[in-house]
Chains A and B, each alone.
Chain A
């Protein structure tokens, strides 16, 4: 974790104690340019040549992807995701994104065939099949060092509007 200002570090060390009594709803609207700045800040040592997001107003998000794959070379796809229902803690920790379009003729059988290898390569908490992408929010927050924030998140849901992705959050401490 990067060096944080002392108040923020103190808060993250024990959010329940320092935020006790908090009950707040946040709709965090992330513009397309900002989302792509986040994606551009990914580590350099990945086979991903190009990666950018394009949120649409019908609650779908297009992911433009260009990857250097072994043997077959450069693969370009535009994969469309539709965000699913809310993450509700502690009963429903998965953020579900249905893949509605974008795979070509042989993509799905190849993904199914390589399912085990894909699972091994992905970080813990990320699940990719030919039909969906699922993110286990507590596992991802824990891996990032923010595990103490997990009990505060009562509701988390994604939806897209034209050129922005909205994260709906309900935090209680």
Chain B
């Protein structure tokens, strides 16, 4: 893993605090479907950690989704579909 990516994961994106995003993100259906396939293959290939390692203090390979969501301040999030696209209307910050 790239050291910068590792730093972001280890600190739960703390160094991006103050980041804001506002507007419309349009994603093609092809991209959405590729994302779903990639997510599913990631689930299949991720081994279940042994019970004895659950309390390990080693840094997580990926950020804790709960901790990450707790950092998000979402004012607007609307999803709609239009002619082969998914439109995401968003106003949010970290």
Residues on A with C-beta less than 8 A from B26 are 19-22, 173
Q: Which of B14-22, B43-51, B64-72 forms contacts with chain A?
A: B14-22
Name which residue of chain A comes closest to B14, CB basis.
A31
Which of B23, B28, B38 sits near A20, CB closer than 8 Å? B28
Which of B4, B16, B18, B23 sits near A23, CB closer than 8 Å? B23
A113-128 contacts to B, CB under 8 A, are none
> In the assembled complex, how far is the CB of residue A121 from the closest CB belonging to chain B, in whole angstroms?
25
Residues on A with C-beta less than 8 A from B22 are 24-25
How many residues of chain A get a CB closer than 8 Å to chain B's CBs? 32
A30 close to B (CB within 8 Å): yes
A140 close to B (CB within 8 Å): no
Name which residue of chain A comes closest to B93, CB basis.
A27
> In the assembled complex, how far is the CB of residue A102 from the closest CB belonging to chain B, in whole angstroms?
25
A37 close to B (CB within 8 Å): yes
Residues on A with C-beta less than 8 A from B4 are 34, 37-38, 41
Which of A6, A19, A26, A32 sits near B20, CB closer than 8 Å? A26
Given A6-B34, A34-B8, A37-B4; A24-B15 close (CB under 8 Å): no
Given A34-B8, A37-B3, A37-B4; A11-B24 close (CB under 8 Å): no
A31 near B25 with CB under 8 A, answer no
Name which residue of chain A comes closest to B42, CB basis.
A5
Name which residue of chain A comes closest to B37, CB basis.
A6
Q: Which applies to chain B's interface (DSSP): helix, strand, loop or mixed?
A: mixed
Which of A7, A19, A161, A164 sits near B25, CB closer than 8 Å? A19
Residues on A with C-beta less than 8 A from B75 are none
A18 close to B (CB within 8 Å): yes
B24 near A21 with CB under 8 A, answer yes
A33 close to B (CB within 8 Å): yes
Which of A21, A31, A38 sits near B17, CB closer than 8 Å? A31
Given A7-B31, A21-B87, A38-B4; A30-B23 close (CB under 8 Å): no
Which of B11, B15, B21, B31 sits near A30, CB closer than 8 Å? B15
B79 close to A (CB within 8 Å): no
Given A6-B34, A11-B31; A23-B24 close (CB under 8 Å): yes
A151-173 contacts to B, CB under 8 A, are 161, 164, 166, 173
Complex Cα–Cα for A11 and B32 (A): 10
> Which positions in B face A, CB cutoff 8 Å?
2-4, 7-8, 11, 14-28, 30-31, 34-35, 37-38, 82, 85, 87, 90, 94
